[in-house]
Amino acid sequence: MPEVKVEAGRVLRDPVLLLAFGFGSGLAARAPGTVGTLAAVPLYLLLSFLQMPFYLAAVLAVIAAGVWICGAAAEKLGVHDHPGIVWDEFAGLFVALIPAGGHAISIVTGVILFRLFDIWKPWPIGAIDRRVGGGAGIMLDDLLAALPAAAGVALVSRLVG
């Protein structure tokens, strides 16, 4: 499928696209998913100061909003999962970093593992990515990729104390 070019001005003027494109990070010419994931780190650092129940509530809000935001952005662009839509990377990283506790080595581990699983899309992530449409489909593969990443973060967090 040919990539649909999106002008930066359009993204910056449209609140839905601005959110879907991770505050502009999804406009990166190369590796927008990775750039979007990195752009999510400062927001994670802010959220990491919350007590766990509030952090989880914030993550659930990001996920719920993401289903709508990603679906609306895909509809506006006429493309199911445009590479510039990176709100799902934000949500996925926040899930992957649940066990990180704000520790630098755990955050780095989470970013690397999340990107690895999101790009690789091992079964069933890849199968679900191909079969589920709309905003839920855009979000779901990243949330599934976040689960094994979170397991790796939990292991590293336990090892480094």
pLDDT tens digits, one per residue of 78-121: 998 999 999 999 999 999 999 999 899 999 999 999 999 999 99
Average pLDDT over residues 113-130: 91
Domain-located, residue 112: yes
**What per-residue confidence (pLDDT) applies to 102?**
86
Domain-located, residue 3: no
Return the residue matching tokens 């509530």. Answer: 57
**What per-residue confidence (pLDDT) applies to 112?**
98
**What per-residue confidence (pLDDT) applies to 123?**
87
- Asked if residue 150 lies in contact with residue 130, where contact means CB atoms within 8 angstroms, the answer is no
What is the SS3 assignment for 23-54? Answer: HHHHHCCCCHHHHHHHHHHHHHHHHCCCCHHH
**Rounded to 5 degrees, what angle do the CA atoms 139, 145, 150 make?**
120
pLDDT tens digits, one per residue of 11-59: 999 999 999 999 999 999 999 999 999 999 999 999 999 999 999 999 9
Q: What share of the chain is helix, strand, coil (3-state, %, to 5)?
A: 75, 0, 25
**CA 136, 141, 146, 151 torsion-angle sign:** positive
Number of structural domains (the chain) is: 1
Range of the domain at 93: 8-160
d(Cα 95, Cα 100) in Å, to the nearest integer?
Answer: 10
Residue 4: pLDDT band (50, 70, 90) is confident
146: left (phi over 0), alpha (psi -120 to 50) or beta: alpha
**What per-residue confidence (pLDDT) applies to 1?**
46
pTM of the model: 0.95
Domain-located, residue 109: yes
d(Cα 20, Cα 127) in Å, to the nearest integer?
Answer: 23
Average pLDDT over residues 141-146: 96
**What per-residue confidence (pLDDT) applies to 124?**
87
Domain-located, residue 34: yes
Domain-located, residue 1: no
Domain-located, residue 19: yes
Average pLDDT over residues 2-17: 90
* DSSP structural state of residue 2: P
